Structure 1
Amino acid sequence: MDERILKYFQNELTVAERLEFLREAERDETLKRQFVEYQNIRALAHLSSYGEDREEGKKKYKQFAGRIRRINGYRWTVRIMKYAAVFAIVILSAYWLAERQVTDTFRKKLMAETNVLYAPVGQRARVTLQDGSVVWLNAQSTLTYPSSFLGSERRVTLKGEGYFEVAPDSEKPFIVSASQGVEMKVLGTKFNVYSYPETGIVRTCLLEGSVQVSCEGISSKGVILEPNQQVTVRNGKMIVGKIKHPAALLWKDGIYSFDNETLENIVRQLELYYNVEIHITNPALAKVRYTCKFRQRDGIEEIIHIIQKIHHFKIKIDKDKNTITLS
């Protein structure tokens, strides 16, 4: 007999183990038969008083099984089989009712248990979800996700920037909810979502597979991206095109990459990553373009000094006010 049957009736299985056991019993006829048989034995042999004693339970099980084998005669066999059939019906009904109650109760409980992962300033984070999907978070980003995906979908919420490698599951789509009512729906793929609320844009870049991007008030069906495509949602519009700068996704490896970007745009990104205010007092300096890469661990001051070497300007750092001024 499967040892989990005893553990089940002695409440020694965790919530997840109970659910997995019941689902396996539903698929496995042998395990289901053992489960029902033990239920019958508990009822017929009045084993409920020994519910907390595993060894006693095993002993009674063997005694009862031996007693059945020693019973001879058609009349007693038929009588026992009648009782067993009645108990089997009752126990089966109880089993399916219990399975349904356990499934509904614990599904609600587990789905109500949410986790929040936050990547601090100047750092990144990585998490493997219950379904095997892997998510990287950029600095100052937050991912909210359930402890277990037990419903008809796998839904998470992103604030900031995240890179997703979604485990395939054709029957349970993976949905990312971002700012501005934007949602990404996939079955199994690799994609990046840029969704810092302060920027006013949501950009999804697809590397592998396919992803459907929709937005409230713009398109009910949304757009379906192909690999190496991106869609940007801004000011109530969705713009689809090719990924302009693939190296920008190297942030998950700890590298910030910019390609022919103005200093103004670069510092706006750095402000998000390092939670600092950067002021450019010289309008001409703000329009100077740079192509460069930085290591995340270098920190904001080191990055600013590296940029200064490319095109000279003055730097003033006020740590009390958490500001940097470029002139």
Structure 2
Amino acid sequence: MSIQRFWILTGRKLSGEATAEELKEWEELSVIHLKDQSTGQFMQLMARNWGTDASETPDAETASRMTARLAAKMQKSLPVEEAPATVPIKKVVYTKWIRLAAAVLLLITAGFCYEVFFSPKTTERSPRNEIVASRGNKSHIILSDGTSVWLNADSKLSYNNNFGKKNRTVKLVGEAYFDVAKKAETPFIIELRANVKVVVLGTSFNLRAYEQDDKVETTLISGALEVQYALGEATQKVLLEPMQKLSLQHPIPIDTTIKGMPTTIVQMSPVKYYNNDEKIIREVVWKDNQLCFDAATFDQVALQLERWFNIHIVFKDESLKQKRFTAYIKGEKLPEVMAAMAKAAGYFTYQLDRNTRILTIDRKK
């Protein structure tokens, strides 16, 4: 387990997600495991490849010998992941690195690790990098320009290899909170679905643009930004000020078109505190593992729970979908969240099947 824990913490350290306690633990484990020559050399080569110097790239025979030894050291059974419905969000994120360790082992044994870590910089690679927070997980990353990004569950951020050098353009599918590093000469650009684009210089804001949703939401917390969206062949621009929220809705039905062009419903509204004393902002509390609903329908709440806990929710009584919730929940476990909601509402019951990850909701008899 010790060597597995070492590689889990190594993955979190390299991605910038490790906490102070985890970094301290990594230092303690590294004293033990980096004494091994193959492990130490492997770590050194990974560190070199994260930079720009490719002059010390080993030959194929050396790389193959080292990765084979490393793979042999990792041939142990990985711990079984607990049922996601009863595991807090932070624990789910932890198990992500167990899967990462298994994935690294698979790449090593397949010979792919040589291409990723040891091949010369001139080797042609994929033009885009992707960071994915799968259903049941959230992720915090720091981009090369210093920008911090929190990815909500079921979200993906992608950018090309020139990011931070010739451009600062990323593409988002899902939801993310950005704290953009200031770099006046190179604006930070986020491309969203439906030809929507957000341009910023240095600010903090939340973007929500899931493919399943019929609208794109931009919530500005501080700084200033510009939202661009297509209307026919023209590009419209809207400037946001701090504590403003912009919603762009793109209806599909034919009766919402004008002269053959889709109509975009634009709505600007002030950002309101859910709790004035604690300065709780509903649109951004998710990054702190909290849920906040303001007159949200039950089916909207269910969609967010499905993403957060990687479950599927079935309503036995369809009329329950239109019930509304206004609540602020700090619990990180699904049982805690559902117990709080059921107690507050008083009109529904629920049952979770751990094997199928299906949560069934029915009207209370």
Same fold per superposition (TM over 0.5)? yes
Structure-1 residue corresponding to 2:187: 173
Aligned partner of 1:139 in structure 2 is: 153
Q: Which amino acid aligns with 1:229?
A: Q
Structure 1: runs of 5 or more not aligned:
1-12, 19-105
Whether the 8 Å contact between 1:160 and 1:195 is mirrored in structure 2 is: yes
The answer to whether the aligner puts 1:206 opposite 2:220 as a matched pair is yes
| 1:189 match | 203
Helix, strand or coil: the match of 1:248?
Answer: coil
Per the TM alignment, residue 308 of structure 1 is displaced from its structure 2 partner at its CA by 1.0
Q: Say if 2:323 is the partner of 1:288.
A: yes
* Structure-to-structure mapping, 1:41-190, within 5 angstroms: 113-149=127-163, 152-190=166-204
Q: Does 1:270 align with 2:305?
A: yes
Amino acid at match of 2:239: I
Q: How many residues align?
A: 227
Paired residue secondary structure (2:342) = helix
Where does residue 234 of structure 1 map in the other structure? 249
How far 1:205 sits from its partner (Å)?
Answer: 0.4
Describe the shift of the 1:124–1:196 C-alpha distance in structure 2 as closer, same or farther (beyond 3 A). same
RMSD: 2.9
SS class of match (2:194): helix
Cα separation, 2, equivalents of 1:314 and 1:217: 45
Task: Kindly indicate whether the alpha-carbon contact (under 8 Å) linking 1:263 and 1:288 is maintained by their aligned counterparts in 2.
Answer: yes
CA distance in 2, matches of 1:231, 1:130: 28
Equivalent of 1:243 in 252, 266, 271: 271
2:349 equivalent in structure 1? 314
> 1:247-258, aligned counterparts within 5 Å?
247-258=282-293
Distance 1:242 1:15, change over 3 A: closer
CA contact (8 A) 2:153 2:307 kept: yes
| SS of match in other structure, 1:132 | coil
The 1-side partners of 2:194 and 2:309 are apart by 23
Q: Work out whether residues 107 and 150 of structure 1, in 8 Å CA contact, stay in contact via their aligned partners in 2.
A: no
1:15, 1:222 → 2: CA distance?
Answer: 38
Deviation string 1:226-272 (CA, Å, 9 cap, x unpaired) is 11111111122222221256223111111111123232321122223
Task: Tell me if the contact between 1:248 and 1:258 (Cα under 8 Å) persists in the aligned partners.
Answer: no
Give the aligned residue type for 1:306: A
1:217–1:109 Cα change, 3 Å = farther
Match of 2:339?
305
Contact 1:255–1:293 under 8 Å retained in 2: yes
Structure 1's 107 and 259: CA in aligned 2 closer, same or farther, altered over 3 A? farther
Alignment TM-score, normalising by the size of structure 2? 0.56
Q: Aligned equivalents of 1:151 and 1:315: distance in 2? A: 51
Change (3 A) 1:302 1:284: same
Distance in 1, Cα, partners of 2:247 & 2:353: 35
Structure with more of its chain in helix, by fraction: 1
RCO higher in structure (CA 8 A, sep ≥6): 2
User: Aligned to 1:121, what secondary structure does the other structure show?
Assistant: coil
Distance 1:175 1:113 in 2: 17
Q: Secondary structure at the match of 2:135?
A: coil
Residues 199 and 107 of structure 1, relative CA distance in 2, 3 Å threshold: farther
The aligned counterpart of 2:237 is 222
Equivalences for residues 12-51 of structure 1 within 5 A: none
Please tell me whether Structure 1 or Structure 2 has the larger radius of gyration of its CA atoms. Answer: 1
Distance change (3 Å), C-alpha of 1:16 and 1:322: closer
TM-score by length of 1: 0.61
String of CA shifts for 1:110-162, please: whole Å, max 9, x gaps. Answer: 9x653211113222111111111110101111111234425543101111110
1:169-202, CA deviations, whole angstroms, 9 ceiling, x for partnerless residues?
Answer: 1111100111212110111111100011011211
Cα deviations by residue, 1:32-67 (Å, 9 ceiling, x for unpaired):
xxxxxxxxxxxxxxxxxxxxxxxxxxxxxxxxxxxx
Contact persistence 1:155–1:176 (CA under 8 A):
yes
- Equivalent residues of 1:123, 1:297 under 8 A apart: no
Which residue identity lines up with residue 166 of structure 1 in the other structure? V
